Amino acid sequence: MDIHSTIQPSLTIMKIRYGKRIFLYLLGGFVLFTCLIIIFINGREKELKTKIVESGQIIYTKMVGDYMVKNHLGKENWGDLAHFIGSFREDLHLSILDEEGTILFDNKFPEASYLYGKEWSNRESRNSNYLYYAEQKGNYFIRAGLPYTPETAAFMQPDLRFMGLIVLIFITLFILLSFFYHKSRKSLKNMKLYVSHFHNRVFPINITFADEELSDIQSMIMEIGNQVKLNEKDILVEREKLLEHFHFAEEGISFFTASFENIYTNSHFIQYLNILLNQPTFDVNNLFGSPVFTEVVRFLENPGNKNTLSSRLHTHGHHFSVHVIIFDDKSFEIIIRDISEIEKNSIDKAEMTNNIAHELRTPVTSIRGYLETLIEHENLSPERKAEFLRRAYKQIIRLSEIIQDVLILSKTTHAPQYFTSENVNIGEMVQTLIEEDLKEAIEKSNSNVSLHIPDNVVIKGNQTLLYSIFWNLTNNALKYAGKNASIFIYNYMEDNDYYYFSFADNGKGIKEQYLGRIFERFYRINEGRTRDTGGSGLGLPIVKDAVTFHNGEILAKNRSEGGLEFLFTLRKK
């Protein structure tokens, strides 16, 4: 299911509701603003009209107050005050009160209620409505009241024309707001429809926008969509490359989330995990409960300030290196590499180094002993000196052979690319070996070599290595098959790709228990095959490496009629 199609309805609902909320917020703001203006203007208008009405009463209270102060009026001469206010308006209601609220003078209603302080009061007294204003003067309160007539009431009413103007402005703004809202909503709907095609990058071309800015946004979205589409395509290609690499990688690779959920695992990881857990499993999460991975689990639970861990695991003769990498989002990767061959090679190198040193020590020690004897004993007879020189020379030859064998082995193992290839006629090469290079050794042991290799047996390979195969096998047979031995060299079969060879002698052979180890470097059989015969233990390993170099195989077996036979193949090209 497409994630965009899943979330699109909820996004649409959110956008529509959001647009309505914006409209309602703006509408509420206009209503509130209009009401506040009306309230404020009405208040200001009422305040101004009140001051206009009040201004006449203020004049009266001030005139009375000044008159009372100037003439020192009191209870005994209120008549003078009545005579003074006689010239005022007939409908003026004037009262004098003390601080306790007792009416001291009232020109209209002696029994009237009293008003304290400076404020307005509209009350009914004897079927007459008055507007009062009171002001303190010394120890007295002077209260002036004027009739609240219909004309006054009409004057105090708000100006309906101004109210109508405010309402008209509000309606006009509301219409404009609705117009722009619906216009913007249409553009936003088009934009929403346009953006809804973002996930498949197929944008409709018949959608237009009223706003130039939205048209610019449309162009930008289209450009972003096309770029994202290209990026997604590139990411998918890189992802496929990465998965292909993981699939064919020699390492076992597995990715996990921060909550230890597996994301991806290649086949090598499952294979190595089954070896380490010693049980078949397809659930990689089983490793977190295995005691073999205790160190890994402990690191994942508490990595500290580190984000990598390297460790080694050993089980059932296999050696593995484990590498853990924790990423920034706390997800992690576990890499398992089989290093059994590397460990074996390391051990073999160390063993070979020790064996080489041991092999070289014997001839070097012998040569040193012979030379020291010649130097320290100058009076030795010429015959004795010649004997020591012959022995030293023999050891030098042996030392040279050991060094040559080691160089060949090292080169075939670590630098086979330096061996050149050419067409080699095997029959001619072995014929030369028998008739020239090993002729003296063959005659000395009174041995016989039967060679049956056709003249057309030609191999594209390295002549040095091919020569070493037959030289070492022949030399080995001359040393261990005994006097009067017979050696048989056959090319007994061929197919489209390989030549098949047999090399045999009629000696006493080798005990079956040793046959599996004769190709090991520096391995010697104690019975009859020791340093006393001059062997270095490298001849047959060189033979095997040379055969392997030519994509062949070799094995050894005892012949039923006696002696040892080597069967090997050599690829034609």
Q: Please name the residues in contact with 165: beta carbons below 8 A apart, sequence gap of 6 or more.
A: none
In a domain, 188, yes or no: no
377, 262: one domain: no
140, 158, 176 — which closes off a domain? Answer: 158
CA 106 from chain center: how many Å?
98
- DSSP code, position 325: E
What's the token pair of residue 124? 């009914």
What ranges in 415-525 are assigned the alpha helix state H? 426-432, 439-444, 463-480, 512-515
372, 428: one domain: no
Cα–Cα distance measured from residue 441 to residue 447, given in angstroms and rounded to the nearest whole number: 9
More confident residue, 127 or 401: 401
152, 33: one domain: yes
More confident residue, 333 or 99: 333
What's the token pair of residue 507? 């000696």
- Which of the given ranges, 97-101, 110-114, 302-306, 315-319, has the highest pLDDT on average? 302-306
Starting from the edge strand earliest in sequence, which strands make up the sheet with 308-315, in order? 262-265, 252-256, 332-338, 318-326, 308-315
- 3-state DSSP call for residue 497? coil
Beta bridge partners of 505: 487
Domain holding 108, by residue range, is 3-158
Instruction: Provide, rounded to the nearest whole percent, the portion of the chain with pLDDT above 90.
Output: 13
396, 455: one domain: no
Instruction: Please check whether residue 552 is in contact with residue 546, taking contact to mean a CB–CB distance below 8 angstroms.
Output: no
- 3-state DSSP call for residue 415? coil
SS3 annotation, 91-121: CCEEEEECCCCCEEEECCCCCCCCCCCCCEE
What's the token pair of residue 448? 């016989």
In a domain, 205, yes or no: no
373, 305: one domain: no
Q: What is the pTM of this model?
A: 0.42
Q: Please name the residues in contact with 126: beta carbons below 8 A apart, sequence gap of 6 or more.
A: 109
Q: Which residue has the tokens 């064919």?
A: 248
Cα–Cα distance measured from residue 408 to residue 542, given in angstroms and rounded to the nearest whole number: 7
For the chain, the C-alpha Rg in angstroms (whole number) is: 60
Instruction: Please check whether residue 265 is in contact with residue 284, taking contact to mean a CB–CB distance below 8 angstroms.
Output: yes
Q: Please name the residues in contact with 117: beta carbons below 8 A apart, sequence gap of 6 or more.
A: 134, 136, 141
Domain count, the chain: 4
In a domain, 45, yes or no: yes
In a domain, 212, yes or no: no
Say if strands 318-326 and 308-315 run parallel, antiparallel, or are unpaired: antiparallel
300, 366: one domain: no
CA 435 from chain center: how many Å?
70
414, 429, 462 — which closes off a domain? Answer: 414
In a domain, 201, yes or no: no
The predicted pLDDT at position 497 comes to: 92
395, 414, 433 — which closes off a domain? Answer: 414
Q: For residues 59-86, give the mean pLDDT.
A: 79
3-state helix, strand, coil in the chain (%, to 5): 55, 20, 25
In a domain, 225, yes or no: no
Q: For residues 530-549, give the mean pLDDT.
A: 71
| Res. 475: pLDDT tops 70 | yes
- Which of the given ranges, 99-103, 453-457, 527-531, has the highest pLDDT on average? 453-457
